[in-house]
């Protein structure tokens, strides 16, 4: 597990994917602080890592990255149990708020380099 504050390469993500799920890397984005935690078996582990590092629960959203799909719409998937937040109006495993989706996509675009 690691928190990416700067950049991570697609090659790094490919290696992470191959070492775990084969085609995907789980991630949790902190949309307020601009951080991305990656490379764990469960999104909740990444969520805990960010919470321990000072993130606020309300800012954390679980995603999946498919490194082989970098540059296509299939690269980023908004699907995680940590996204189930009825108290915040998010009633599914997806990220339902379009503005939050955009913020996550922009963060991933800044953090994941070639």
H or E segment and range at residue 96: none
Q: What is the pLDDT of residue 59?
A: 97
pLDDT digits (tens, 9 = 90+) for 41-59: 999 999 999 999 999 999 9
Q: What is the pTM of this model?
A: 0.96
Q: What residues in the chain have per-residue pLDDT under 50?
A: none
Q: What is the pLDDT of residue 15?
A: 98
Contact between residue 56 and residue 94 where contact means Cβ atoms under 8 Å apart: no
């Amino acid at each position: 597990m690691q928190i990416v504050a700067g950049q991570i390469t697609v090659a790094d993500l490919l290696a992470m994917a191959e070492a775990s799920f084969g085609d995907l890397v789980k991630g949790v984005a902190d949309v307020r602080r601009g951080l991305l935690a990656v490379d764990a078996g469960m999104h909740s582990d990444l969520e805990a890592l960010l919470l321990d590092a000072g993130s606020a629960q309300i800012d954390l959203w679980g995603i999946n990255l498919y490194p082989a799909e970098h540059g296509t719409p299939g690269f980023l998937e908004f699907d995680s149990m940590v996204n189930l937040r009825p108290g915040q109006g998010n009633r599914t495993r997806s990220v339902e708020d379009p503005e939050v989706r955009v913020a996550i996509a922009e963060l991933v675009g800044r953090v994941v380099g070639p």
